[in-house]
Structure 1
């Protein structure tokens, strides 16, 4: 039996951030991950905002930044492009394209430097209560082991098993879980190599397609769909997108990633006795963009801090931990509700309506525009925008 104050299950960015801040708060911390190499395989397009990294106090390193993205290129179904640059518009996901295989290790190393112990190739297989603590059973290199902890932080990804073991509802309805597929490709010929691209419409039903540059002719090319809106798989839609898009028709894949992305907004309940759920496991993903690295790390930081305080208090009950729900709502919840409304509006638009909006926006002067201005412009074009967005901004 191994004993610790805080056990973090999952060493993605959210889990490592939670482990780091729990350790900085004075707790004894163990972080386990089922993979033999932290950061592989990657599960996202690898974009993060400059503002988010700054807020988290993360020092930039050329080891894990592949490209600085200075703008966003939004493309409608007929190919009409709207270009926005960061000096004109606040762009929530623009900033840097990471190499997640390096970045995730970097964050785990940060946790280790703060005092956390890391155990790789360690799969959590069950959880039970013993007194006022919990015991997690795990398998490490074919060997069974048990870890007793005062607090368990579940950072084990979408539809968290650990959260379910604690009695929390962590599963997502099909309409709130995007199915995603992505290639990393070489030979990509982007129209704007320093911009991240979003492609909207029927190419990716219920979501969008993306092209995120990683330097030279390399890019992440992927899409997310809602299975409730198409009979095809995400992979089939990806193949069609790659074949038809001018930037990728001559490119070659060197890596394929698939997975789910929870886009329904924060889980209402992320706390049970002895347990906190964070990151993708708590659906800490921007419902509009599907981006979850920064928001997951912000949630992870709160989880680590709350866990350390709980250990200091000697009280690991739901009642003492529920401040975590409140703090996460303040940090992420309100903005997520707005993004969810914006997503619902976009999903209500036909390809023709998206083309019409892009046609108006492409020649607009964005020198001084902000979110409110963009919504006002949308309302002039589309009555649906007034209905869905008019009261938000």
Structure 2
């Protein structure tokens, strides 16, 4: 899946190909290298689309300079990236923007920067984009519209109807708002290749290890970045940190010479299996069952062909896998086959990672630096959705980068426009976090009482509906008001897609 239009070849021959600067492919230096590439493009999409997918079919044969694929797609669709000519350490690459990480936030940041005419390089420390998958793989129609996405069929696994919440006593309430379950690794590859088509360059297996300020006559001019990988060192006017929960730039940059830009945030463990033959009616099921997920939740996210992600998020990280296994054993998921997800060739079928839960970092910008997605602490507090926030924060970062470079002002004051943008757009994290904390202070029985006060369908409550919920709580368990029940209930409202919940 590659954006429509030319991939960047200026000529295709039986010998070594010649590439334009728009391509992420760099010609191999060896004269013995050969490559044969066959391109087949899908019909062009509207220029209004944010992403324009295209398929590229390629077969390769190399000798001294082997081609390296950045994404292995189904049906032998390869997108290729070659080794570049080795360079001396002093021969630094100069770019306008260096994007650290090729997840959804990094890929979109690179895409938006490239579209604004900025020379952009994405570095990714893995050998393949999109793996391992760390999340439940959902995105709402609200997010698709907000980001002007036109998803290609290849990245979509299943159309879904909304969210259903199951409380400790089995009470079910649903929030109908449509969306998609994605094949997330293909989604991220698609965005990254869209960025490549727009002129960005991509380097895999490149890990950032240090950043040094570049100054001229006392004025900040950019960052000299070094690390593991043949494209280093890199000089960048602006760095966009999309490195996920590791938030590498926050560690490397020490404004006062000793303390990092941001303290390490609190995280929870997320783990899931892909199960087969899972019954579903097209809703995403979220179980608030503290017995298995302490201060967290469990989920069933349906996919195509009867597959589903079944997993949990919990603060009890050492017990995460055991708790998930117990949940499956105790429920209707018992006996269903666990299988390796399509992107995983071998190993344990369990997969996941860590999720930031402390909220946005205190500093999401600095001289020539912006943090996006998980690297900025952007997740929806209750159900930890992060893709919508990552993709949108990348848009704001690219807008700020273009403005700063056009004005030759890379200062923290100029970068602060980014922070103002996301603060004006994203929901009030502190308020939602207070509600989440209030929810997890309730006993199982109190949570279930609260659930009985909600209507069966929570998508159209309105002011009168919320007032009715309050009256029901007052009638059935007035003591819950002393436990901040209103904040807990509001947290559910802020989990909706229009508040960047998913």
* TM-score normalised to structure 2 length: 0.70
The residue correspondences of 1:20-31 to structure 2 (distance < 5 A) are 20-31=111-122
Higher mean displacement: 280-289 or 242-251:
242-251
Alignment of 1:293-304 (within 5 A): 293-304=387-398
SS of residue paired to 2:189: helix
Question: Hey, what does 1:163 align to over in structure 2?
Answer: 250
How many pairs does the alignment contain? Answer: 374
Contact 1:201–1:350, Cα closer than 8 Å, also in 2? no
Task: Select 2:288's aligned residue among 191, 200, 206.
Answer: 200
Cα deviation for residue 199 of structure 1 reads: 0.3
Q: Structure with the greater relative contact order (CA < 8 A, sep ≥ 6): 1 or 2? A: 1
Which stretch shows the higher mean deviation, 271-280 or 72-81?
72-81
Q: How do 1:282-297 and structure 2 match up within 5 A?
A: 282-297=376-391
Q: CA separation of 1:204/1:270 partners in 2, compared to 1, >3 Å: closer, same or farther? A: same
- Aligned partner of 1:90 in structure 2 is none
Distance 1:295 1:365, change over 3 A: closer
Check 1:372–1:268 CA distance in 2 against 1; reply closer, same or farther (3 A cut).
Answer: farther
Q: Does 1:145 align with 2:228?
A: no
Q: CA deviation at 1:337?
A: 3.3
Which residue of structure 1 aligns with residue 487 of structure 2? 388
State the alpha-carbon separation in 1 of the partners of residues 457 and 239 from structure 2: 50
Matches of 1:349 and 1:149 in 2, distance apart?
49
Cα deviation digits, residues 221-276 of structure 1 (max 9, x gap): 1111113xxx8521121111111121354232423213111122212211111111
Deviation at 1:368, TM superposition (A): 4.0
Whether the 8 Å CA contact 1:299–1:328 is kept in 2: the answer is yes
SS of aligned partner of 1:69: strand
SS class of match (2:224): strand
| Aligned position for 1:187 | 277
Counterpart in the other structure of 1:100: 184
1:122 alignment counterpart? 206
Cα-Cα RMSD: 2.3
Q: Once the 2 structures are TM-superposed, how far is the Cα of residue 370 of structure 1 from its aligned partner?
A: 4.1
Gaps of 5+ in 1: 87-93
Deviations along 1:127-180, one digit per CA (max 9) or x if unpaired, are: 11222221111222xx4720001001111011412222123105113xxx2111
Whether the 8 Å contact between 1:135 and 1:149 is mirrored in structure 2 is yes
Deviations 1:313-341 (A, max 9, x none): 11111111111111111111x34334323
Answering whether residue 424 of structure 2 is matched by residue 330 of structure 1, we say yes
Cα drift, residue 387 of structure 1: 5.2
- Go from structure 1 to structure 2 and tell me whether the alpha carbon gap of 1:29 and 1:338 turns closer, same or farther (over 3 Å shift): same
Residue 200 of structure 1 and its aligned partner are, at CA, apart by 0.5
Q: CA deviation at 1:364?
A: 4.2
3-state SS of paired residue (1:188): coil
Q: Measure the CA separation in 2 of the matches of 1:337 and 1:14.
A: 22
1:247 aligns with 2:333: yes
Q: Distance in 1 between matches of 2:141 and 2:374?
A: 20
Q: Report if the CA contact (8 A) 2:174-2:458 is conserved.
A: no
1:367 Cα deviation (Å)? 7.8
The 1:371–1:284 alpha-carbon spacing in structure 2 relative to 1, beyond 3 Å, is: farther
Point out the more displaced range, 236-245 or 33-42: 236-245
Closer, same or farther in 2 for the Cα pair 1:8/1:116, shift >3 Å? same
Q: 1:23 offset after TM fit, Å? A: 1.5
Comparing both structures, which one devotes a greater share of its residues to helix? 1
Contact 2:176 2:459 in 1 (8 A): no
Deviation at 1:85, TM superposition (A): 2.5
Judging changes above 3 Å, is the alpha-carbon distance between structure 1 residues 371 and 33 closer, same or farther for their aligned structure 2 residues?
Answer: farther
Q: What pairs up with 1:199-218 in 2 under 5 angstroms?
A: 199-202=287-290, 203-218=292-307
Report the Cα distance in structure 2 between the residues aligned to 1:261 and 1:349, rounded to whole angstroms: 23
Alpha-carbon spacing, 1:364–1:272, altered in 2? closer, same or farther (3 Å): closer
Partner in structure 1 of residue 465 of structure 2: 373
Q: Tell me, yes or no, if the aligned pair for 1:166 and 1:272 is still in contact at 8 Å.
A: no
Deviation at residue 217 of structure 1 after TM alignment: 1.9
TM score, norm. by length of structure 1 = 0.88
* 1:77 paired to 2:168: yes
SS in 2 for 1:130: strand
C-alpha separation in 2, matches of 1:109 and 1:185 = 30
Instruction: Check the 8 A contact 2:173/2:457 in 1, yes or no.
Output: no
1:9/1:346 CA distance change after superposition, 3 Å: same
| 1:287 positional shift | 0.8
